[in-house]
Amino acid sequence: MKKFCAIILFTCLTISVCNLSVSARNEIRDSDGTLVMDKYPEVSNPKREKIQELFRKAEEGIISEEVVGAALRETYPERYSNRQNNISYTRESVMGRNLSFTTLWRAWQIPQANSYYCGPATAEIVLRSHRVLKDQHDLADELDTDNFGGTPWFISDSIGYPMKNVLDDNIDEEDYHNVSANPSAESLATLTRLCVNNWEHAIAANMYIEPSDEDRPAAYPGGIRIAHWVAVRGYANDGDYIQWAEPAYNSPVSWSDQIEEPNLYTTKEILASCVSSRGIIW
């Protein structure tokens, strides 16, 4: 009887702890006091689900990859009008839900407040992963974003890296960040795993993509120059794929309508290419 009661008690406690864990996550609040789950609810994506189903049919031999390619061009005309339509590369993007990502759940996506606030929004996300809540408008002042019309990667030898400086000013000294300019794909994968698993904070990554560059995240439009900050928050397959919180999602950025999810990902090689002229703050 005691053994039976002990089992029942243990089961009840386990359920209670699980419910508390879920409740705690649901009650995480953004810097403006809004419940995160209310502000950024997960929504279904009919376009993506349609393409996923077509890919499954192609893999089963029911339809050809040419049919999938035609559907991609019809569904996402802006995304594929100015770039090569590489089906195998695109499959990695569209079938992303089949990957299992290890992520920092504290590093929730935050939309940038205007077209050039990707830096302040990234800083807000990274600081949140350090359990520091600060609004991107205040961070924009600290980063001097308004004066530059964006957040520069590097200013001068005397000032250094504004993103690193501001992040360090808002956290404990033992957690100060490091700078890696032009990291290799392997270094990027290793540092992402370490930051997510060991140090438990996000990485500020500064992309610079020329209009002619083919190496760019699948969701980004082709044919335009993109200088952009994002917050790396997770990885899959030991870092072969790297995920970030995308500030452009649901934002005033001109190409934000092409960003259909708050968290994006790409291969470590493509992300390394995108940050090669600048780097990461980790």
* pLDDT one digit per residue (tens) for the chain, 282 residues: 433 343 343 344 333 333 333 333 344 444 455 544 444 444 456 766 777 777 777 767 788 767 777 777 777 665 444 333 344 434 445 444 468 899 998 898 999 999 999 999 999 999 999 989 999 999 999 999 988 889 999 999 999 999 999 999 999 887 889 999 999 999 999 999 999 999 999 999 999 999 999 999 999 999 999 999 999 999 999 999 999 999 999 999 999 999 989 999 999 999 999 999 999 999
Let me know if domain 102-281 sits in CATH 3.40.50.150. no
Q: What is the pLDDT of residue 26?
A: 40
Query: Which residue bears the tokens 């209009």?
Result: 211
Q: For 215, phi and psi rounded to 5 degrees?
A: -80, 100
Per-residue model confidence (pLDDT) at position 62: 83
pLDDT at 45: 63
Interior/surface letters 6-24, b for 16+ CB within 10 angstroms, e for the rest: eeeeeeeeeeeeeeeeeee
pLDDT at 99: 82
Residue 228's H or E segment, with its range, is strand 226-236
Choose among 261, 251, 266: nearest CA to 46.
261
- Per domain, the residue ranges of the chain are 46-98, 102-281
CB neighbour class for 2 (10 Å; exposed up to 12, middle 13-18, buried from 19): exposed
